[in-house]
């Protein structure tokens, strides 16, 4: 027992040292932000795609191979509008001939739900440390970033959590998966809360940033096409109709070149893993619709 505990301590020290190395001491532009973010941008620079897709997790879950070959997915996950603006700047920097920007215009993107992500401090930080600094030297590194990311994930999941498990359990802080399941909030209540959080209030800051983004693209000869991604048929039973109408008015005020509305194309609940994210089955069904994107 004592030997096992000593071994865990040694592995923890080694793991923590490696973690410190790949995240702090080794200069790695990829890890200054989210690891998958710049790896994906690297692919964009290589493809010289004439169209890009930007959005939050609704767009991010779409595999690149499901899109037409001339449309590149630059979505990462919980992207705010300001963050998408930075990606647009990055895209035009590496491909001035960019023709089309497909931009998520889902209801929650105009809501106060995204307000916290869109503050100026965050956008300044992204521009300084992830765009301005990184753009000139990012692509000199090919293998190390992927290695660093794998080391980081392995240490976090397999060493630190393994070591911490015993400590939490002894102090009564560890909760088993069974207990978590037993105490979980009912699915319907979670769905209702998610929709209410997303569809609440209108963010004027978000609307203005959308307008600036569209203007930025138009000035460079690119058209901006709005995309509304599929949501579950249950989604709108929890939404405030008046808020939805206000959001619709805000969306129309942007004067987008076109809006592709896929919001209500699926009624099958099996096509969704939750209230507003497609399952693998749903993504396969959605693939046919996506193939029509960017076709004149």
**295 confidence band (pLDDT: 50, 70, 90):** low
Residue 116 is predicted with a pLDDT of: 56
Name which residue leads in pLDDT, 191 or 104.
104
Q: Indicate if the pLDDT at residue 112 is higher than 80.
A: no
Q: Indicate if the pLDDT at residue 57 is higher than 50.
A: yes
- Supply the angle between the helices 2-20 and 144-154 in degrees, to the nearest 10: 150
Residue 166 is predicted with a pLDDT of: 52
Q: How many CB atoms lie within 10 A of CB 290?
A: 21
Tokens standing for residue 128: 């300084």
Range in 25-29, 138-142, 287-291 the model is least confident about: 138-142
**158 confidence band (pLDDT: 50, 70, 90):** low
Q: What is the mean pLDDT of residues 66-82?
A: 81
Residue with tokens 């889902």: 106
Average pLDDT of the chain, as a whole number: 71
Percentage of residues in the chain with pLDDT exceeding 90? Answer: 12
SS3 for the chain is CHHHHHHHHHHHHHHHHHHHHHHHHCCCHHHHCCHHHHHHHHHHHHHCCCEEEECCHHHHCCCHHHCCCCEEECCCCCCCHHHHHHHHHHHHHHCCCCCEEEEECCHHHHEHHHHHHHCHHHHHHHHHHHHHCHHHCHHHCCCHHHHHHHHHHHHHHHHHHHHHHHHHHHCCCCCCHHHHHHCCCCHHHHHHHHHHHHCCCECHHHHHHHHHHHHHHHHCCCEEEEEECCCCCCHHHCCCHHHHHHHHHHHHCCCCCEEEECCCCCCCHHHECCCCCECHHHHHHHHHHHCCCCCC
User: Nearest 5 degrees, angle CA 164-CA 30-CA 33?
Assistant: 70
Q: What is the mean pLDDT of residues 188-200?
A: 71
Q: Indicate if the pLDDT at residue 218 is higher than 90.
A: yes
pTM: 0.65
Name which residue leads in pLDDT, 149 or 204.
204
Percentage of residues in the chain with pLDDT exceeding 70? Answer: 62
Q: Indicate if the pLDDT at residue 198 is higher than 90.
A: no
Q: Indicate if the pLDDT at residue 39 is higher than 70.
A: no
Domain ranges of the chain: 2-290
Q: List, for residues 256-282, the tens digit of each pLDDT value.
A: 989 999 988 998 888 988 888 888 889
Q: Indicate if the pLDDT at residue 54 is higher than 50.
A: yes
Question: Nearest-CA neighbor of 216 among 127, 133, 96?
Answer: 96
Residue 177 is predicted with a pLDDT of: 40
Instruction: Give the whole-angstrom CA distance, residue 174 versus residue 171.
Output: 8
Is there a contact between 120 and 80 (Cβ–Cβ < 8 Å)? Answer: no
Residue 175 is predicted with a pLDDT of: 38
Range in 101-115, 130-144, 161-175, 259-273 the model is least confident about: 130-144
What lies within 8 Å, CB to CB, of 264 at 6+ separation is: 230, 231, 233
């Amino acid at each position: 027992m004592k030997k096992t505990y000593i071994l865990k301590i040694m592995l923890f020290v080694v793991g923590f040292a490696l973690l410190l190395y790949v995240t702090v001491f080794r200069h790695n532009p990829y890890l200054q932000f989210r690891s998958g973010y710049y790896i994906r941008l690297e692919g964009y620079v290589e493809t010289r795609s004439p169209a890009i897709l930007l959005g939050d997790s609704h767009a991010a879950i779409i595999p690149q191979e499901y899109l037409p070959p001339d449309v590149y997915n630059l979505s990462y996950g919980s992207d705010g509008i300001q963050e998408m603006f930075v990606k647009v700047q990055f895209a035009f920097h590496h491909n001035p001939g960019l023709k089309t920007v497909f931009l998520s215009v889902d209801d929650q993107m105009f809501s106060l739900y995204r307000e916290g992500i869109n503050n100026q401090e965050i956008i300044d930080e992204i521009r300084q440390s992830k765009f301005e600094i990184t753009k000139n030297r990012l692509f000199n590194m090919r293998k190390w970033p992927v290695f660093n990311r794998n080391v980081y994930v392995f240490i976090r999941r397999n060493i630190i959590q393994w070591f911490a498990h015993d400590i939490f359990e002894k102090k009564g802080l560890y909760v088993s998966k069974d207990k978590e399941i037993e105490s979980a909030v009912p699915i319907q209540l979670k769905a209702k809360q998610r929709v209410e959080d997303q569809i609440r209030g209108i963010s004027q800051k978000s609307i203005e940033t959308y307008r600036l983004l569209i203007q930025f693209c138009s000035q460079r000869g690119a058209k901006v096409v709005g995309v509304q991604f599929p949501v579950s048929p249950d989604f709108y039973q929890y939404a405030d109709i008046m808020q939805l109408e206000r959001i619709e008015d805000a969306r129309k005020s942007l004067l987008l070149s076109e809006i592709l509305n896929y919001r209500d194309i699926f009624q099958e609940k099996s096509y969704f893993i939750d209230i507003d994210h497609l399952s693998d089955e749903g993504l396969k069904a959605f693939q046919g619709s996506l193939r029509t994107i960017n076709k004149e």
